[in-house]
Structure 1
Amino acid sequence: MTVDTVTTRRLLRREARATRRGPAIALAVVLTAILLALLAGTVASAADAGLRTQITAWFAPVVAVVQTPSGLIAIGIVLLVLALLLVALAVLPGRRARRTRLHTRAALVVDDGVLADAIADGVARRIGVPRGQVGVTVARRAALIRITPTSGVPVDAAAAEEAAARVLDEAGFRLSPRVQVAREGVIA
């Protein structure tokens, strides 16, 4: 893209990264429920003295645990782990099952499933195995190709790996293909 590569790169990054909407909504719902429960308990205990004594009796074991040093340390550790988890969710990038590529004429966003299908088609065509007997899983840095041969027909794993590498090179993505050939074949 010759016009604005900074904007294009930012858009590609946005398409490849996952949003933090799910954890943010879950945290907001939990905090809202806790605050509404506290508000309802406060209003109800202010209106009824009998309810206030009953709530105090319910929370007596919690107060006893909180007053011990080991209880305070345990609560502090739990809150620290929760805080670290929330900070990690906020700071660490999420990843969608997509790959991006910036070319001189276009910007590409390719779903991992589409890339896996292209690899499976290329491998099946190259080694002469029906497409239904080739399964591909695309991971972060590798493509795992699982081949179930037809019973009695040998499969060349090196040719399958070469075909997968050729498809990946043509698509412009750097993944290392790993081929697994099943020990037992299917009956044709």
Structure 2
Amino acid sequence: MSTVSTTPERPSTDARRASSQSPAPAVPASFAGVYRRIARRETHSPRSLLAIVLAVLLIVSLAWVGTEIVIALLGAPALLVAPRDMFASLANIADAPSGIVATAGVLAAIVGVLLVVAAVSPGRRARHRLASNRTVVVADNEVIASALARHASIAGNVDPDNASVSVSHRQAVVHLTPTSGIPVDRGVVAEVVSAQLDSYELRPTVSPRVRIADDGRIGA
């Protein structure tokens, strides 16, 4: 009588290695739109704070004007400006010096343009999206800066405490303070940082900038 083993055979080492090196499956087309919305939600912020501040200022202004009108009707002295004087000043604004009127108009136009730009443009969080074929990967700028600082300190042969990185929306600025008597090769540090940023495949892309302090630190 022959016996058949039901234990599956283990894959060979080459087969396991090939399986581990196989590319990750791409995101299905049906999920691409969902992932884009998730990435945008995680990397952009609403303008809620600006809207709340403007609403509070408008409410306070209207409350003040209403209070001044009630006080004027009661015959009491005004808190700041009487409504009659306020409206008279607005009516006679054309008689004011042209320089004051032009300056006020320019300031009002600038404030209006800034508010329109803030309302139309999306707010951004201090985060970047990393390239991935399987899911949405978002990293805080502080995490990216910490990783870049570690590689920059190694490439520049400086103490980790003497390396700092600030990551903004489009740029990563590396600050290095060398040890006294040990020069730092800016080109090598810039090359290492650039290679790291390329490997992260950040979206939007970030360009590196390396700054070396003129004065070294003793015992660093």
TM-score normalised over the length of structure 1:
0.82
Contact 2:174 2:211 in 1 (8 A): yes
CA deviation after TM superposition for structure 1 residue 57, in Å: 5.8
1:176 aligns with 2:207: yes
Supply the AA of the counterpart residue of 2:186.
A
Distance 1:152 1:78 in 2: 53
Give the corresponding residue for 1:5. Answer: 32
Of 107, 113, 119, which aligns to 2:148? 119
Deviations 1:115-146 (A, max 9, x none): 11101101222333211111212233332212
Equivalent positions of 1:71-82 (< 5 A) are 76-82=105-111
Give the corresponding residue for 2:135. Answer: 106
Distance 1:141 1:151 in 2: 32
1:156 aligns with 2:156: no
- Residues 1:20 and 1:165: Cα distance change in structure 2 (over 3 Å): same
CA deviation after TM superposition for structure 1 residue 28, in Å: 0.4
Give the corresponding residue for 2:162. Answer: 133
1:186 aligns with 2:179: no
Supply the AA of the counterpart residue of 1:9.
R
Relative to structure 2, which stretch is displaced further, 170-179 or 76-85?
76-85
Of 56, 62, 80, which aligns to 1:35? 62
- Residues 1:60 and 1:164: Cα distance change in structure 2 (over 3 Å): closer
Distance 1:152 1:88 in 2: 50
CA deviation after TM superposition for structure 1 residue 58, in Å: 4.0
Of 17, 40, 45, which aligns to 2:44? 17
Distance 2:33 2:160 in 1: 40
Distance 1:50 1:166 in 2: 72
SS at match of 1:145: strand
Distance 1:128 1:78 in 2: 51
Deviations 1:60-106 (A, max 9, x none): 76246325375776655544333322211101222222111341112
Q: Percentage identity across aligned positions?
A: 31
Relative to structure 2, which stretch is displaced further, 22-31 or 73-82?
73-82
Give the corresponding residue for 2:120. Answer: 91
Supply the AA of the counterpart residue of 2:188.
A
CA RMSD of aligned residues (A): 2.8
Contact 2:69 2:83 in 1 (8 A): no
Supply the AA of the counterpart residue of 1:165.
S
- Residues 1:145 and 1:62: Cα distance change in structure 2 (over 3 Å): same
